[in-house]
Amino acid sequence: MWYFAWVLGLPLAAAFAILNAMWFELMEEDRKKENPDIS
């Protein structure tokens, strides 16, 4: 039964990591739009 935790947990953790990376990219783009002199 432990494998259910792995089968459900690993894709959930991967999806969270991907969404987190996408969110950080969007926040970085917004910051660059507000302050174009910051690279």
Q: What is the pLDDT of residues 5-27, one digit of tens each?
A: 999 999 999 999 999 999 999 99
Residue 29 has pLDDT above 90, yes or no: no
The pTM for the full model equals: 0.69
Which residues are within 8 A (CB) of 37 and not within 5 positions of it... i.e. 6 or more apart? none
Residue 31 pLDDT greater than 90, yes or no: no
Q: How far apart are alpha carbons 1 and 24 in whole angstroms?
A: 35
pLDDT of residue 21: 97
